[in-house]
Amino acid sequence: MPDPTAIVAEPITEPVSTEPAPASTGLLDADYNFTGNWKEQLLDDDIRGEKFFDSDYAKNAKTLLKKSYHQEKTIGQYKAGFKGVKIPDEKATQEEIDTFRDATGVPKEYAYSKPDDVDDDVVTSEFMTSTMERLNKANVSQKQFDEVMDIFANRIREIEAAGVEELNGKTKTAIERVQKEDPKGIRRELATKFITKMTDVWPAEKYQELFGTENESGERAGGINVPEFAYLRPLLLDMFATIEETYAIPTSAALSDTTESKSASIEDELKTLESTPGFLEGRLRTSSNPDDRAKHFEIMKKRSDLIRRQTELQSNVQR
C-alpha cells in the first residue's frame, strides 16, 4: 500500500500569457507592415505616387520610424556644423549671405599659385580672374577651390602629355617614311646641298627661323622641324632633292675638256646674273618698285635658261 504519510508533489505548469497578439488595424498586420489601402488613408494626393513610398523601408511602420529618426539626427548634426547659420536662399539678406560664407570658409579672395608645369598660354591671368570670380560668387570655399584647381591642372597635364605623345608618333612616322623612301640617304644629301646653296647668303637668324637650331645630337628643333610639321618632311626633302637633281649647276670637275670652256662661260654668266644687287637676297622680288620686280623675273628667266644649257652639257659628257 502506498505510504499515507508520503508527501506527493503537485505538477508544476508554466503560466500561460493572456496578452493578445497585435490585432490588425486595417493598416498594419501583425509584423507592422502596412496593408490594404494604407496609402489612400494616410497619404495626401500630391505625394501618394512618389516612389519613396514603394521602397522597402517605407512598407513597414517600425522600419520607417527608425529611418526617420536617423535622418533627423543626421540633419541635426549637419546644421550643428554650421553653428546655427542659416543656409541662404533667394530671399537671403547680404548679412545672412556674408555670415554663411564666413562659416563655410568662403574667402573674399582665393589664394592661388599656378603650377610651374602649366603653361601661361593655357591658364592665362584673364582666365583665372574670371574663374575665381565665378567660383567665389557660387560660395565655393578655399578648400573646394584648391581641389577644383588641382583637378583642372591634372587634366591639362593629361591633355598635354597626350598631345606630345601624338606629335612624337607623327615625327617617328615621318622619319620612318624618309628612311624607307631613301634608305641610302642619297636624296637627303641632294636636298641638303640645295638648301645650303639657297641659304648660303642668309644671316644666321633667318636660317634658324626657318630650320630651327641644332641640338647636341645634330638634330634641328624649331622652324619647319617642329613636330607639328613632321608630316611635311618627306615631301620637302623630295622636293628639294628633285630641284637640286634637275636644276643644279654642275661643277667644273664634272665637265669634259671639250665642254669646259663653254661651261666656264655659262658659269661666268650665271655668276654675273646672281651678283646683281638685291637678287639673291630677294630685295628685287619683294621691292615695291615694279621695275625692280620685273628685273628680278628677267634675271630668273635668263638664269633658268643658263642652267638648262649647263645641264645639257653635263648630260653630253655623261653619255
Q: Are residues 156 and 197 in the same domain?
A: no
Q: Which domain holds residue 187?
A: 182-247
* The predicted structure's pLDDT at residue 253: 38
> Shortest CA distance to 306 belongs to which of 249, 243, 256?
249
Judge whether 214 lies within some domain: yes
Question: Is 86 contained in some domain?
Answer: no
Counting as low any pLDDT under 50, the low residues of the chain are 1, 5-10, 12, 21, 249-259, 319
Residues 103 and 171 in one domain: yes
Given this model, what pLDDT does residue 82 score? 56
Rounded Cα distance between 187 and 178, Å, is 10
Residue 32 maps to a domain: no
Comparing CA positions, the residue from 185, 211, 174 lying closest to residue 196 is 211
Burial of 230 (0-12, 13-18, 19+ CB in 10 A): buried
Q: CA 231, 233, 234, 238 torsion: positive or negative?
A: positive
How high is the pLDDT of residue 77? 53
The pLDDT of residue 248: 65
Q: What is the pLDDT of residue 6?
A: 46
Residue 280 lies in a domain: yes
Clarify whether residues 104 and 150 are in a common domain. yes
Please, which residues bridge with residue 28 across strands?
34
Last residue of a domain, one of 136, 154, 178: 178
In a domain, 75, yes or no: yes
Residue 242, by phi and psi: left (phi above 0), alpha (psi -120 to 50) or beta? alpha
Burial-class residue 255 by CB neighbours within 10 Å (0-12, 13-18, 19+): buried
pLDDT of residue 148: 92
Last residue of a domain, one of 154, 178, 202: 178
Whether residue 288 is found in the same domain as residue 312: yes
What is the gyration radius of the CA atoms in the chain, in angstroms? 46
Question: Structural domain tally of the chain?
Answer: 4
The pLDDT of residue 263? 62
Kindly report the pTM of this predicted structure. 0.41
Together in a domain, 104 and 174: yes
User: pLDDT tens digits, residue range 42-85?
Assistant: 888 888 888 888 887 788 888 888 888 877 766 665 555 555 56
4 lies in a domain? no
The reported pLDDT for the residue numbered 5 is: 46
Tell whether 192 and 170 lie within a shared domain.
no
Residue 272, domain member (yes or no) = yes
List phi, psi (to 5°) of 184.
Answer: -95, -5
Burial of residue 38, with CB atoms counted within 10 A of its CB: 0-12 exposed, 13-18 middle, 19 or more buried: middle
Residue 238 covered by a domain? yes
Largest CA distance in the chain: 167
116 in the same domain as 149: yes
137 and 104 housed in the same domain: yes
